[in-house]
Amino acid sequence: MLERYEDLDIDHFKKQGIKAVLLDLDNTLAPYYEKKINAKALSFIDSLKKAGLKVMIVSNNTQERVGGFIDSHDIDFVYYALKPLNKGYKEALRRLGVTNKEVISLGDQLLTDVLGSNLAGIYSIYVKPIIDKDSITTKFNRKIERLLFKYWVKK
Ligand SMILES: [Mg+2]
């Protein structure tokens, strides 16, 4: 478990033979309401790539959401991954050309990211949701609150 994705010990996992990192998007890399990738997430992904790791965003969200989020950046992604089912993970492994033992997965939800990774035999790291942390220090405006509420209730 990590407090924040920046705390990932990249060297440690490189030494373990890890070749790729699967990243959840919503509430792991950014809150739901951030339409475009922010500088912090971008620099995290860059640091993974610089360390020689492949990176793939694996999201249950739509092509529009994930594609819009990465914007014009060169970041691979799987959308509509159907986590905790195997579909998205299988696609990610195939496209990355790695086995389930050569990747780690980061995500903020136990029932999708962590369960799904475990079912796929992938080492999973639970990252505390960004919004829970933010809510302590940040006052959301009501509009955003309503959007989030709608999302959670829908689930
Ligand atoms: Mg998430």
Number of structural domains found in the chain: 1
**Average pLDDT for 72-80:** 97
Within a domain: residue 149? no
Within a domain: residue 93? yes
Output the 3-class SS for the chain.
CECCHHHCCHHHHHHCCCCEEEECCECCCECCCCCCCCHHHHHHHHHHHHCCCEEEEECCCCHHHHHHHHCCCCCEEECCCCCCCCHHHHHHHHHHCCCHHHEEEEECCHHHHHHHHHHCCCEEEEECCHHHHHHHHCCCCHHHHHHHHHHHHHC
Within a domain: residue 35? yes
pLDDT band at 152 (very low <50, low <70, confident <90, very high): low
* Gap from CA of 81 to ligand 1 centroid (Å): 12
Within a domain: residue 140? no
Residue range(s) defining the domain that contains residue 90: 5-130
* Gap from CA of 48 to ligand 1 centroid (Å): 19
**Residue 126 belongs to domain with CATH number:** 3.40.50.1000
pTM: 0.85
Within a domain: residue 122? yes
